[in-house]
Amino acid sequence: MSDHEGESGLTRGELARTTSCNIETIRYYEKTGMLPDPPRTAAGYRVYSKAHVARLRFILRARELGFTIDDIRGLVGLDDGAVPSCADVKERTERHLADVRAKIADLLRIEAVLATTSAKCSGDQVPHCPVLETLAGE
């Protein structure tokens, strides 16, 4: 029997496997206070609860959607200790959405320039290259 058997919960490794998250990432979220410190067994093993799993999944999903650590702190009420209102969450989400849309617009401009430039290039073994000329600002 291991030193953590009989306790309800998961070890850090089990939490990592359950959430498909790297152990170092879990350590980082604990160190920054994003993930609350779990209780420990008498032998000193951390025991993570369903609440830890849910919080970590929330953080990971928010990161997948591009929210910053500060935004996530606000979404879970860590920055001021208060549960955020729907208005607070909407404001953060709308701000993030505007940032995402600006990045998409930038990427579409980049795509257009690259597509136009690439179309000008023959791809032959010639010294004249429209791609290099465009990058050089010619």
Q: Compute the average pLDDT of residues 75-90.
A: 80
> What kind and span of H or E run contains 49?
none
Residue 3, pLDDT above cutoff 60: no
* Phi-psi sector, 118: left (phi>0), alpha (psi -120 to 50), beta: alpha
pTM comes to 0.75
Provide the CA 104 distance to its chain's centre, in angstroms. 18
Q: What percent of the chain has pLDDT over 70?
A: 91
Q: How far apart are CA 37 and CA 18, in angstroms?
A: 18
pLDDT in tens, 94-114: 999 999 999 999 999 999 988
| Residue 47 confidence (pLDDT) above 90 | yes
Mean pLDDT of 57-61: 96
What per-residue confidence (pLDDT) applies to 117? 87
**pLDDT score recorded for residue 1:** 33
For tokens 């029997």, name the residue. 1
Residues 35 and 59 sit within 8 Å (Cβ to Cβ): yes
Count of other CB atoms within 10 angstroms of residue 26: 22
Question: Residues 48-62: what's their mean pLDDT?
Answer: 96
pLDDT per residue as tens digits for the range 6-32: 446 999 999 999 999 999 999 999 999
